[in-house]
A and B are shown apart, each in its own frame.
Chain A
Amino acid sequence: MREYLLGNAAIARGLLEAGVGLAAGYPGTPSSEIIETLVDLKGDRPLHVEWSVNEKVALEVAAGASWTGIRAAATMKHVGLNVAADPFMTLAYLGVGAGLLVICADDPFCHSSQNEQDSRRYAQFASIPCLDPSDPEEAKDMTIYGFELSEKFNIPVMLRPTTRVSHARADVETGTIPPVRVGGQFVKNPARRVALPVHARALHTELIAKQKAIEEALETAPWNKLTLRGNVGIIASGIAGLYAEEAIRDLDLEVSLLRIGTYPVPAKMICSMLEHVTRVMVVEELEPVVEEQVERLARIVNPAVEILGKNESISREGELDFLRVRNAIALMQGIQEKAALPNTAAGILPPRPPALCPGCSHRATFYAMRKVFGKKAVYPSDIGCYTMAVGMGTVDTCLCMGASITLASGIRFGGETEGICCSLGDSTFLHGGMTGLLNAAYNKARITVTILDNSTTAMTGHQPHPGTGVTATGEPTVQVSLEALARALGAGLVEVVDPYDLEKTLECFQRAKEYPGLSVVIARQPCVIKARRSGARPRAFRVSEECQGCGICVDFGCPAIEFEGDKAKINNLCTGCGVCAEICPGSSIQEVKR
C-alpha cells in the first residue's frame, strides 16, 4: 500500500522490511527519526533498538550483532561519522557477518549542524559502497538493497540521505515485514575478526580486489539511470537528479541525463554518456565526487568533451534546489534565467532566530555563571540547545561534541589567566565530554565545567540517555549519576544546583570559581518542553504597579517578558520558573497565588 511517509520513517520501514535484528544510533538532526520510528513500529518483534552513548559505540554494537549473523544498522548524522570513523575505516577490512548498514544523514546548508561535510568522501576513503537516495521511496528501497549488497560483498554499506530526503515526505510503497532473525551466534575466525597487522595486510589486499566487482554490481543497480537524447548531457547524483529532471521538464529540453545513486559510480554509463555528447554538466551537492570521476573517465574515452560543474555554476557549498539547477542548465544552453524573486518588502520584519524557550533553565544558569565569572572570563561551550545562548556572552566556542572541556583545558594550558567556565549538556557530556573531563583532572586543568543537565537530549527531540534511567524503547534501566561520574573521573569539587534558585546558583558558581582545581557544577532542572508534556502545572507571575521600568528583566532575554509602555509585562508564554522575580531589583515581579 502507499503511505505518506517522512524520509526517515521510510528508512525505518525499510529496516523492518529487510528483517533487521538490531539498530543502534545517537540522535542528530537530520537522522533522529529513524530510531524513533523503529521504536514506534517494532511492537512485539524481538528486535534490539537502542540509543547508544555515541556514534562510535552505535557502529561497534551494530558490527558485533552483524558478526553473530543478524542484520544490523547504525544511524547517525554526518558529523557523527567523524566520531565513528575509527571502527568505520577498519570494518571495511574485517567485513560483516549478516548485512551491516551505516546510515549517515548529511546536512548540506548546515540547517542544524556545525559543518556540511560530504559523507560520500568518507565512503570513498574507506572503500565502502555508498547509496545516495533522492527521495523517501528510494531511501526505503536502498535500505533493503544495502543489506543485500553488504552480504554479497562482505562489506559494510553506507546509506547517505540528506536533509531534503530524511525530512522530506512522499507517498511510499510499503511491503511486508518478515519475521526478525534471532539467535545469532558469534563464529570465531581470527583472520577476519582480529585486525592484527598480519591479518590487516591480507584484508586490505582483499578490500582493494573486491572494488571492481562492487563497481560492476552497482553498474546495473536500479538507482543509476541513463537516457541518451541530445548531444548535451547532464549527470546528476542523489537528490540533484530530481532537481535536474524537474529542470529539464520545466525547460522542455532534449538533453541526455544520467542519474546516479551509487558509489562507486557507474563508470560504463558515464563513458556511454561521454561518448555521446560534446558537453556535459555534472550536478551534485557539496563535493565534486562524481565530477572527479567524470573528468578521469573523459581523459580515457573523450578528452575533447567539455565538462561543466563546480568550476561553473554548481556551488560547492550549501544546498541545490530546482531553481538553482534550472538556472545552471539554462545558462549552459543560453536560455534566460528565472531569477528568484526578491522579497524587498520583508525588510520591515524583525528577525526571528531560534531561541532558548521561555523558562529554559539554561538561561538561568548562564545568567548566574556570567554574574559570578564576569565579562573577562572565557566561556567555551558545546553542541546543544544552549549554543543558541551565544548572545548572552557565555558561549565563546562551539567546535564538536564534548570539545568545551578540552578546549577550556587547552586555553588554560596556553596561558590564559582569566576565569574559565565551560558548559555542555548532559547528553553531550555522556557522548563526548567524559574523556575530556578525565583528561582535565589528570593533567590538572584549573577550570570550571558546568553540566547543563535538563535530563534529556533536548535539541534533537528529547531522546533518553544513560542519565535518564530509561532506554530508547521506554524500559527502565540503570540511571547513571552525573555527580558520581564527575567525581570518579577526578573532579575535585562537584556540586549539584537548581538553576531556578538564583541565590544558591550564584553561591555555587562562586565556590567553583574560587576552587583551586577542577570544579564541576551540575545545573539540574528538567527541560521545560518535557516538563510541560508531563503535565507540570506552572506557577503564575505578574508585574506589579511598582515596576520602575529598569529593563533588567527584559535584558534577561526570556520571550515571556515584554515591555508595555514603560513597564514590564509577563505574557502568556510564561512557564512559571520564577527566575525573573529573583532578578527584579525592586521585587516587582510577584507570584500570583491561586
Chain B
Amino acid sequence: MRTSECDIVIVGVGGQGVILISDVIGRAGVMAGKPVRGAETHGMAQRGGSVINHTRIGCRFSPMVASGGADVLIALEPAEALRFAHFLSPNGVALINTMPVLPVTVTTGAARYPPLDEILAPFEGLCRRAVPMDATAIAKKAGTAQAMNVVMLGALARYIPLKEELILEALCDVVPPKFLDANKKAFSLGKAEVE
C-alpha cells in the first residue's frame, strides 16, 4: 500500500543548492494543503561531500524515501546520480545534470572519474526515463550558473503533483528579489528540457 503520493530524492555535492530545491517544493506542497515530509543533510558532509535530500509530498510518515521508492531522482551532478540510483523506483524518472564536479580523490589522482556515458548507461534498466541535461550551461543562458539548481527544479516541476504557479510562488519566497528574474528564466528553460 502506498504511503506517500510522490517521493523525490535530490542529490548533489555540498554547496550546489540541493536544499533550495527541496525547500521550494516542500513549501509549494504545504501551500497546496498537502502533508509534506523531508530529510536534509547538514554538518560535516556538507564540506564538499555527497549530499542527499528526501522530499515526500502527500505523506505523513518517515521523512526518508526508501531504497527503490523514488518517483523522481534529481541529481545536480552525474556521479552523484549514479551513487544514489538505488533509490529509484522501476517506474521512476531520473533528471541528471551532466556537468561533473570532481571530488578531491580525483583531482589528487587517487581515483578516476568515469566518462559520462559509463555513468549514464546503468540508468537504462533502472527506471522508466532518464533525462540528462547540461543544466549548468542552461543556467548560464538564463544569466547565472548559480541558477543550475533552479533549471533542475523547472524540469522536476513536470513530474510532481503540484501546480506550477505554487512552485513559482514558493520560489519567490526563497530566492532574493534581485536574482528572481534570472531564476524564473532558469526555471522555464529547465521545464522546456523535458517537454
- A: residues with CB less than 8 A from B are 2-4, 6, 29-30, 33, 111-112, 135, 164, 167-171, 239, 242-243, 245-246, 249-250, 252, 321-323, 338, 340-343, 345-346, 348-357, 385, 388, 459-461, 551, 554-555, 557, 559, 561-563, 571
Contacts and interface: CB of A to CB of B under 8 A. Distances in A.
A351 B62 contact: no
B86 to A, nearest CB: 4
Contact of B62 (A2, A246, A460): A246
Nearest to A243: B62
20 contacts: A4-B26, A4-B27, A6-B40, A170-B35, A170-B38, A246-B61, A249-B3, A252-B1, A322-B61, A340-B86, A341-B86, A348-B114, A349-B82, A350-B103, A354-B45, A357-B47, A388-B44, A557-B104, A562-B102, A562-B107
A248 B119 CA distance: 37
Contacts of A345: 82, 85, 122, 126
A307 to B, nearest CB: 24
A332 B46 CA distance: 38
Contact of B79 (A111, A243, A350): A350
B3 A351 contact: no
Interface stretch (B64-72, B154-162, B175-183, B185-193): B64-72
Given A250-B3, A388-B44, A557-B108, 16 more contacts: A112-B42, A135-B63, A169-B63, A171-B35, A242-B62, A249-B61, A338-B68, A340-B68, A345-B122, A349-B83, A350-B106, A350-B112, A351-B111, A355-B47, A459-B44, A571-B107
Those 5 A-B pairs whose CB atoms lie nearest each other, nearest first: A112-B43, A29-B43, A354-B49, A350-B111, A345-B122
B85 A322 contact: no
Most chain A C-beta atoms within 10 Å of own C-beta, residue among B38, B47, B63, B67 = B63
A385 B46 CA distance: 11
B21 to A, nearest CB: 12
Contact residue range for chain B? 35 or more
B39 A168 contact: yes
Interface string B84-121: 11100000000000000011111111111110001100
Most chain B C-beta atoms within 10 Å of own C-beta, residue among A252, A354, A459, A461 = A354
B144 interface: no
A170 B62 contact: no
B30 interface: yes
A266 to B, nearest CB: 22
Nearest to B44: A112
Contacts of A350: 79, 103, 105-106, 110-113
A494 B1 CA distance: 66
Nearest to A112: B43
Contacts of B118: 348
A459 B109 contact: no
B72 to A, nearest CB: 16
B134 interface: no
Interface string B115-136: 0001100100010000000000
Contacts of A3: 30
A561 to B, nearest CB: 7
Contacts of B13: 352
